[in-house]
Structure 1
Amino acid sequence: MDTRTLGRTNRTVSAIALGTWQLGSDWGEVTEANARAVLDASAEAGVTLFDTADVYGDGRSEQLIGSYLADRPGHAITVATKIGRREAQDAANFTLAKFREWIDRSRTNLRTDTLDLVQLHCPPTAVFSDDRVFEDLDTLVAEGAIAAYGVSVETADEALAAIARPNVATVQIVLNAFRLKPLDAVLPAAIAAGVGVIARVPLASGLLSGKYTADTTFAANDHRTYNRDGSAFDVGETFSGVDFARGVAAAGEFAALLPGEAAASGFTTAQVAVAWVAQLGGVSSVIPGARNVAQAKSNAASGSVPRMSPAFTGAVAELYDREFRATVHDRW
């Protein structure tokens, strides 16, 4: 597994990480035994970054990770969690007192005194221009409650505002073949500032696996059913904000672009999609999620996909420009 330095945390993490939203909620039911098996399969495959949040299953995801790692003293896994969505999305709620409350809950869930990396969880845009918010986070670092902090963002402009902050260690953003805007300015700015980029939703909520048809359905408690119109949270988190049927068709085109060497080696469309993101300059780690062991192993194996050519990247860009630029590029 390829490793990189995770921005200003100065921690070394795997290029392919594990997103654990699926282990908490919003992707259908995952038993505790299956969740632990996913964590175990990922760790055995060389994954050393787990990404979670305090609201995934109301803390269930954090608790599962905390229990798993407590049984493995001396582990080399970095845990990135998120705070800020336990209450109304009002910039006035982002205070030191609230930070302490949320962080103490996460420390209990994760069974640790110091959280490795805490990310503000897609906060209101006004938060990014509030100096006090970042001073409060600096206070928590000085006190030892957190080792480093970053921001998970919805838009490229929010990412650029965060990167400009001197002590922001990482920025997490949606980045995949159907959401290319971060390539314009976010990745170059992160490289210049030494800020880590964590790429989320690399498979566009599974669209880029190439396994869906226009008739595919999902469980009622799966966000791919109930958030297609953005009624629960930002619609850009569900299928990257693209129309499902259009995304299915474009995923078929993406599959047809697979490099010959990768296809000949048996790599899947999903693995190539994840690997392409991981191979972009400026990306520290990619966080595909997994609901079972097979998915966890497949995701980790994406780190072995041969480096893709500029011609492949050009073809991906052409597909994006033709199918999605007009509807998603300026929105996020």
Structure 2
Amino acid sequence: MLYKTVGRIKEQISAIGIGCWGFGGDWDTSNDRNADAIIRTSIELGINLFDVAPVYGWNHSERVLGKTLKDAGLRHKVIIASKCGLTWGDDHVTANDLTKENLFREIDGSLERLQTDYIDIWQLHWPDPSTPIEETCEALAEIKKSGKIRYIGLSNFAQADMEVFDRLVGVDAQQGLYNMFERNAASYHNIPLKYRTEEEMLPNVRARGQAFLPYSPMFQGLLAGRFTRSRTFSQTDIRNENPKLSGELYQKYFDGYEKLKLLADEIGHPTNEIAVNWLRQKPEVTSIIGGASCVEQVRQNIAALDWSIDDETMARIGEILEPYREMP
């Protein structure tokens, strides 16, 4: 396993992390037994970053991760990156809430579900325009001082807002949507994004010494080679809500995938390894937050670390990806 240490986080972080959204039951392949095996095997193979959130499976992902780490006695070997700021009711309709009151409530709930007394990186999941940044920062500072969190992160934040957070409380890590097809994406699951990853976020994390944790590295499975041109998901799969994975837009992305697949066959490495390597070779990337529905997918992603994309191949990839640089 390869590890990185960035300026603000004094930890060695594995180049590949595990995204725990799939542990919550929102994807077709979700189940607790698979999740337990994925967590244990990932740690055995050197992965130490696990990215989770209360909203994933309506608290279930945190419970699954916490139970496995507790049962296996492995909490001391991992970096838990959880999130806060999304609330919901019985109808599972989410709302943004970064008030001081809610953050105090959320940190204790996450600690209980994760069966730990601290979270390594606590990230604000999405912005909350109705709550003053100063109020949120005051809460973060108090929670950090209490020892319940070690580092502060932002996910999906406009960079102008990030600069205010950084000045008031310090931002150690950022998360953003980033993969070969979504480089400056304007939306995610119909949610408008107030940042552009390559144009704005990457220069900032580089200049400020922040960790950068890109999510959706496989474009929710397309770059892993799991889809066909006529793919369908079950009615309960959260990916049905991604308009980029249906209709004419999906066909355009699949055209690009087919070109990458031809190149992958030529160089003898599958598209998922190319997707991981393309990200890994970006100097700003700290750890790639990849989901996995089985242990084999973890092994496949780690295999990408055994080789690098040469300059000629990277140039050919660039030609394939150029039409997608500014797609939504």
Per the normalisation by structure 1, the TM-score is 0.84
Q: Alpha carbons of 1:240 and 1:45: their partners in 2 closer, same or farther (altered >3 Å)?
A: farther
2:192 equivalent in structure 1: none
- TM-fit CA distance, 1:23: 0.7
Stretches of structure 1 lacking an aligned partner (at least 5 in a row): 230-237
SS in 1 for 2:213: strand
Report the Cα distance in structure 2 between the residues aligned to 1:220 and 1:274, rounded to whole angstroms: 29
Q: How does 1:1-332 map to 2 (within 5 A)?
A: 1-5=1-5, 8-73=8-73, 75-87=76-88, 88-90=94-96, 93-124=97-128, 130-153=133-156, 167-181=170-184, 182-225=197-240, 227-229=241-243, 239=245, 243-258=249-264, 263-264=267-268, 267-304=269-306, 306-322=307-323, 324-328=324-328
SS in 2 for 1:243: helix
Amino acid at match of 2:49: L
Deviations 1:124-169 (A, max 9, x none): 3566x72331232111101112111101116666666666666111
- TM-fit CA distance, 1:13: 1.1
Contact 1:9-1:169 at 8 Å conserved across structures: yes
Contact 2:182-2:327 at 8 Å conserved across structures: no
Which range is displaced more, 182-191 or 195-204? Answer: 182-191
The structure with more strand, counted as a fraction of residues: 2
- The alignment's C-alpha RMSD in Å is 2.6
Amino acid at match of 2:316: A
Q: Paired residues, what number?
A: 310
Stretches of structure 2 lacking an aligned partner (at least 5 in a row): 89-93, 185-196
SS in 2 for 1:102: helix
Q: Alpha carbons of 1:121 and 1:47: their partners in 2 closer, same or farther (altered >3 Å)?
A: same
Report the Cα distance in structure 1 between the residues aligned to 2:168 and 2:303, rounded to whole angstroms: 34
Amino acid at match of 1:21: W
Per the normalisation by structure 2, the TM-score is 0.85
Q: Alpha carbons of 1:316 and 1:15: their partners in 2 closer, same or farther (altered >3 Å)?
A: same
Q: What is the percentage of aligned positions where both structures have the same residue?
A: 29
Contact 1:63-1:110 at 8 Å conserved across structures: yes
Which range is displaced more, 112-121 or 22-31? Answer: 22-31
